[in-house]
Amino acid sequence: MSLIASHPVLNHTVKKGATQQAVHFWKHLQATVGLSRKLFRAGKPLNFIKAAAAAFANKTNDPILRVTAFLRAISYAIYFTTDTVTWVNSAKVLQLTHAPTLNKIGTRFWLFGMLANIVNSLRRHQIASAKEAALLADPSEKDVTSLKKVLAEKKAANIQLLWDVLDTTIPISGLGLANLDDGFVGLAGFITSALGTRQQWAATY
């Protein structure tokens, strides 16, 4: 589950005038969970580099899908690399002078990767809608299966679009690009966490 999902609790705790001990507990829990998650994400840069190479090599894909998939993968590879370096610094394995700057750069690439994926989802929605219109214009029994497949692709694109739009609130807030309330950012993170859990459940069962 997304770490940011704990923000609504922390936000509510602070607004209700809870004791300093309670606020400290939630902040400490949030920081601890965050560091633990960074450790398990240490191998992700390599996965995204492979994904970028695959996207670049796919000459048959739609040009917009190809470019946005490549940009997303490269951006995420850079983000997770800086994320790992930040974890190394936070865990006091190494003391890095420029860790905050590096973290800010990584957050920018995270946001850019999500923006690229938003364009990708919009394009996939557009392609699926065109296919749907073509199938509905000349319906036949054999096209029922094709229509179901296209509708599933369209639904997946819409869910991913919602997911990325909500997730952008985290880096946008973190970079100070907009003054977003912690409760709002936390709610967005909670929804994306629920979407992720639903996706994993569907893939497993």
The per-residue pLDDT for range 120-168, each reduced to its tens digit, is: 999 999 999 999 998 888 767 667 888 899 999 999 999 999 999 999 9
In a domain, 82, yes or no: yes
pLDDT band at 50 (very low <50, low <70, confident <90, very high): very high
In a domain, 19, yes or no: no
In a domain, 16, yes or no: no
- The rounded percent of the chain whose pLDDT value lies above 90 is 47
In a domain, 49, yes or no: yes
pLDDT band at 65 (very low <50, low <70, confident <90, very high): very high
In a domain, 50, yes or no: yes
> Which residues are CB-contacts of 69 (< 8 A; sequence separation ≥ 6)?
51, 55, 58, 61, 116, 120
In a domain, 17, yes or no: no
Question: In the predicted model, is pLDDT for residue 4 greater than 50?
Answer: no
Q: What is the pLDDT of residues 90-103, one digit of tens each?
A: 766 566 777 789 88
pLDDT band at 18 (very low <50, low <70, confident <90, very high): low
* C-beta separation of 22 from 13 below 8 A: yes
Q: Say what the pLDDT of residue 93 is.
A: 58
Provide the domain limits for residue 87.
3-11+30-204
In a domain, 43, yes or no: yes
Question: In the predicted model, is pLDDT for residue 38 greater than 70?
Answer: no
Q: Say what the pLDDT of residue 1 is.
A: 40
Residues 179-192 have a mean pLDDT of: 88
DSSP state of 3: G
- Give alpha helix (H) positions in the chain: 7-15, 20-40, 44-57, 63-90, 99-137, 143-167, 169-174, 182-204
In a domain, 63, yes or no: yes
Q: Say what the pLDDT of residue 130 is.
A: 95
Gap between the Cα atoms of 196 and 172, Å rounded: 21
Domains in the chain, number: 1
Question: In the predicted model, is pLDDT for residue 40 greater than 80?
Answer: no
